[in-house]
Amino acid sequence: MNIESEIISAVIVAALYLLLFGTMELWSRRTSVAREVTRKGVHIGGGFIALTLPYLFESHWSVLILGSLLTIALIIARWRSLLPSVQGVERSTYGEILYPAAIYLTFLWAMHEQRPLYYIIAILTLALADGLAGIVGERFKRVTFRVAGGEKSLGGSATFFAVATAIILIAFDIDGTQTQLGSIVIALIVAFVATAVEAASTHGTDNVTVPLATLGMLLAIEAKTIERIVG
């Protein structure tokens, strides 16, 4: 491990997150944009920044330290009300506090299994499927269903499923390791489970449960496939 390279990478990633938070906060304060929009902007943008981690860091310790510092900063920001663009929404949620931990745990697990593709899929599912589902769910609340701790929008869940399915299909198509039929079956199964997990998660815990469930399902299906081939 090149410590100098890890430090430089950490500085770059930290700067990108600071730029993202700063941009959303400035947008929120200078316009009448809804805070749910700026919050989702950070959610989606933060996910795209996290996609670079497997290519910037060799050690998970670097990601852990970076994530811990970001978590501490977000806790202080919530305590001092420094980021209303992200933390000023009306609903009770701790999603932004859990976000760095979710990224680290997904990174640790995927890199341990040597599956960077699965990390990419899991983080994109968190960023895009969950992020866009939140936006659609806020916009179209007419049809909802009850879950533990509140209600979920049917439109939001449908959006999550569609986007998650598309992410997996595109990822496997680019990777080229799955047959077309295999990709479709895996995408539908993983997207369905991830959608169910997201619907059952409340108070921002989906930021942790969604990527881990997505990664776990991908690994489980792969293990089952290998078992059938060997058996």
**Please, is 119 exposed, middle or buried when counting C-beta atoms within 10 Å of its C-beta (0-12, 13-18, 19+)?**
buried
End-to-end CA distance of the chain: 38
pLDDT tens track, the chain, 231 positions: 688 999 999 999 999 999 999 999 999 889 888 888 888 999 999 999 999 999 999 999 999 999 999 999 999 988 887 777 777 656 667 878 999 999 999 999 999 999 999 999 999 999 999 999 988 887 777 777 777 666 778 899 999 999 999 999 999 999 988 889 999 999 999 999 999 999 998 888 999 999 999 999 999 999 877 656 555
pLDDT for position 33:
83
pTM, 2 dp: 0.92
Write out the DSSP string of 126-170: IIIIIHHHHHHHHH--SSEEEETTEEEEHHHHHHHHHHHHHHHHH
Rg, the chain, Cα only:
18
Token pair belonging to 215 = 């990664």
Pull the structure tokens for residue 212: 């881990």
pLDDT of residue 67: 96
